[in-house]
Amino acid sequence: QVQLVESGGGLVQSGGSLRLSCAASGIIFSIYDMGWYRQAPGKQRELVAAITTNGRTDYSDSVVGRFTISRDNAKNTVYLQMNSLKPEDTAVYYCNARYAPGAFQSPYWGQGTQVTVSS
């Protein structure tokens, strides 16, 4: 019933831009903190950006100034605007939803979308 569906990934040249979208269903979106994670082959999954129900944002140091996370509660969608992309941004990007009022609850994950940045 709960679904997080990412879209917007693809192949882009270094310096280019992509906007990822994650459409959520089956949850009360407005009470979930949302995040974007990424995982490159052979590496651990890492937090890229997060946005709380109150609009507070956090970013990995590696993307500060280049990426922007936002959410549209009316559309049950969280976005990740990625500018000035670098080859090291290449990874599978995953959408994450965490129930804000309840600590220690298992989050939901999307299936991921591939982002490949060519040099």
Give the β-pairing of 18-25 and 46-51. unpaired
Q: What is the pLDDT of residue 12?
A: 98
Q: What is the pLDDT of residue 79?
A: 98
Q: How many CB atoms lie within 10 A of CB 96?
A: 21
What are the tokens at 47? 């937090």
Compute, in degrees rounded to 10, the torsion defined by CA atoms 96, 98, 104, 110: -30
Q: What is the pLDDT of residue 92?
A: 98
Q: What is the pLDDT of residue 103?
A: 72
pLDDT cut 90: percent of the chain above it = 93
Rounded to the nearest angstrom, the gap between the alpha carbon of residue 30 and the centroid of all alpha carbons in its chain is 16
Residues in the chain predicted with pLDDT less than 50, given as ranges, are none
**Closest-CA residue to 39 (of 106, 85, 79, 95):** 95
**Strand stretches in the chain, DSSP E:** 3-7, 10-13, 18-25, 32-39, 46-51, 57-59, 67-72, 77-82, 91-99, 108-109, 113-118
Q: What is the pLDDT of residue 109?
A: 97
Q: What is the pLDDT of residue 104?
A: 79
